[in-house]
Structure 1
Amino acid sequence: MPQDARSDAAARARWRRYLADERAEAAVYRELAGRRTGEEREILLALAEAERRHEAHWMRLLGDDDGRMPRADLRTRMLAGLARRFGSIFVLALAQQAEARSPYADDPDATRAMAADEKIHGEVVRGLAARGRRRLSGTFRAAVFGANDGLVSNLALVLGMAATGVDRSVVLFTGIAGLLAGALSMGAGEYVSVRSQRELLEASAPDPAARAALPDLDVDANELALVYRARGMDPQEATAHAGRVIAGVRAQGDVASGSMPAAHDDAEAVGTGMSAAISSFCFFASGALIPVLPYLFGADGTVALVVALVLVSVALLATGAVVGILSGASPAKRALRQLAIGLGAAAVTYVLGLAFGTTLA
């Protein structure tokens, strides 16, 4: 086959692959839109329409030769499957990564507008994903940290006790005690932490009762401008805005129409104290149970230690990967980092247990 023919065949194969990916990505956005309402639905449908424009470009290049279409790449097919089943923040986080990997910037057959579209799509999806992250961040943070702490702390406790050479029953009951003590401590700590955060936010929020004073303010002295300046406006903007607010209130004769400057509302991201406490308790307990499982089922000695290490390693990789997906980072890197930190802490306590066991002997 001549070189030109081979090059043309390779180019057409690449165009068909791009076309398949664009169709699959459009399907992902339509699936997600079907599970949303309002503005988010409109945004996702607009993204699907943009992918259709990209489809049209590759179809024009292919002409009538759009047969024997390849399947979309594995990541895009996985996204489509997840979108059909869950339609969750996980899919948006993965879609954000997929948009960031677009090859159009380096492909001579893709237009500059298409390459620019893909970059902007990534930012649009990042914004949608940020909304979801904000909604679940308080409870999710408590859940992930609870599970990770349970895995690492109880594995370290179990390995440390096992290394001293004590009886299996002692290791088992030590692990159970560590589970209960840690879960209760984590739940109580999360409750206090989140409640304190919410109280701080509430203390920073404007007092609704202050609106009643707006009609009586001196528009020339205008202390309201100081309020806006305290919230971050520059002096000229604060004075102008305060004047408009007071004028509007007096013109309408309605105190409720006046507005006080709002503090940045992070209450949704913080979550509620009880939900954070419950999730932290449950996830710590579930994580702390894993290194105890071999001893609960009668294993002992080296076998129990190896099984506990394997189970905890798998769980650490899973929690690390989930954090990586939701943060828009590499799941593999986050998973390996979680594993290294967890096993490193457990190794230190195991060595200490060996030292104490030798001393006691």
Structure 2
Amino acid sequence: MTDQTPHGSASDRTRWRRYLAAERAEGAVYRELAARREGEERAILLALAAAEGRHEAHWLALLGGDDAGVPRADLRTRLLASLARRFGSIFVLALAQRAEARSPYATDPDATPAMAADERIHGEVVRGLASRGRRRLAGTFRAAVFGANDGLVSNLALVLGIGATGVAPGVVLFTGIAGLLAGALSMGAGEYVSVRSQRELLEASAPDPTAREALPHLDVDANELALVYRARGMQEQEAVEHAALVVARVQAVEDAHTPTDALSVVEHDDEAVGTGLAAALSSFCFFASGALIPVLPYLFGMTGPAAIITATVLVSIALLATGATVGLLSGASPFKRAVRQLAIGLGAAAVTYVLGLAFGTSIS
């Protein structure tokens, strides 16, 4: 066990103070998030805050109880605390998940193995909490991100390709607006049909709610209900035992109004699918907002290379922002996702620009 004394080199004490500041800030983040939650989620977040408090006590003991000169937490942790106070959203949980994953305790000689293990488990706890929010917004968020990205890339490619041919700026502007409207309508309609179709497929696979009326009359010995569970993926012995339990319970209380999930094995996560209308509206609006950006220079009267360069810069900034947002929500590196989004978007636009140049040269 670590010798908890107020000794240590100057560099050791500086490191301990830095850890102490980080633990205090992380505990504050979890308390701020807990203040915006209820029930089980609140209890989990408060338990995480209490664990950070134990880690805080460890570093304070090494410092001999002297917390003078403790620095502010790093910028990322302070930002996390600020977001938690103001929003308490899925973004904060996703950031907290990344923060827990970066813990240096596994290689620090002054941190106990239990502390290093705590940090790894904290990351999984936060991942679980964040996954609830991700499921709630998955359908609509997917449509929003895809819509914005498609609007940015497709309309930039369209505007650059047409602009490179040397046609009049008015033609480029009209083409961009037409691409915006056509793409937004197509995306909205496509998302609506896609999500509605997915929900209809899930509903077709769900148990028939009227079938539960037969449960009180099943033969306990023959018990055809086991075949239902086997058809839905259970192993034979497990299905037989589960079916016997369900039938015995239903017949014991003579309850014909058995819950509809009595025939279910796995519940479908409708929240992750989203609704058709919400996905369509989200896709339409975000595609339109993304597709508007490449057109802005022409709307403000810019022409030629200046308009092309401005449109490319504006779209690049937007691509970096959408990529970073996806990275944050997925718990991955925002920087890597942002660069990937930028590379894909500009690569697609570059192809149409080169084609536009070639086509413009051939007709000149």
**Is the structural similarity TM-score above 0.5?**
yes
Alignment of 1:43-62 (within 5 A): 43-62=44-63
Residue aligning to 1:311: 314
Aligned-residue CA RMSD (Å): 1.2
> Does the CA-based 8 Å contact 2:229-2:265 persist in structure 1?
no
- Specify which of 304, 324, 334 is matched with residue 337 of structure 2: 334
Aligned mates of 1:64, 1:348 — CA distance in 2: 63
CA contact (8 A) 2:7 2:63 kept: no
CA distance in 2, matches of 1:264, 1:173: 49
Whether 1:320 and 2:309 are equivalent positions in the alignment is no
Given the alignment, which residue of 274, 277, 284 partners 2:277?
Answer: 274
Aligned residues: 357
For residues 163-216 of structure 1, what are the alpha-carbon distances to aligned partners after superposition, in whole Å with 9 as ceiling and x for unaligned? Answer: 100000000000000000000000000000000000011111111111100111
Partners of 1:6 and 1:151 lie apart in 2 by 57
Q: One-letter code of the match for 2:269?
A: D
| Correspondence for 1:183 | 184
Q: Which amino acid in 1 is paired with 2:349? A: A
Shift of 1:262: 4.1
- Map 1:1-361 to 2 at 5 A: 8-257=9-258, 259-361=262-364
Q: Distance in 2 between matches of 1:229 and 1:38?
A: 35
Q: CA deviation at 1:264?
A: 3.0
Deviations 1:111-147 (A, max 9, x none): 0000000000000000011111000000000000000
The C-alpha deviation readout for 1:251-279, integer Å capped at 9, x for no partner, is 10112246222443121101000000000
* Deviation for aligned residue 1:355: 1.1
* Structure 1 unmatched ranges of 5 or more: none
Q: Among the aligned pairs, what percent are the same residue?
A: 78
Q: CA deviation at 1:6?
A: 11
- Describe the superposition over 1:10-29 as per-residue Cα deviations: whole angstroms up to 9, x where unpaired: 11111111011000000000
Separation (CA, whole Å) in 1 of partners of 2:203 and 2:15 = 56
Question: For residues 298-347 of structure 1, what are the alpha-carbon distances to aligned partners after superposition, in whole Å with 9 as ceiling and x for unaligned?
Answer: 00001100100000000000000000001111000000000000000000
Alignment partners' CA distance in 2, 1:191 and 1:325 = 26
Normalising by the residue count of structure 1, what TM-score does the alignment of the two structures yield? 0.97
Query: What amino acid maps onto 2:362 in structure 1?
Result: T
Look up the equivalent residue of 1:311 and give its one-letter code: L
Q: Distance in 2 between matches of 1:117 and 1:239?
A: 40
Gaps of 5+ in 2: 1-5
Q: Distance in 2 between matches of 1:307 and 1:276?
A: 31
Kept in 2, the 8 Å contact 1:206–1:263? The answer is no
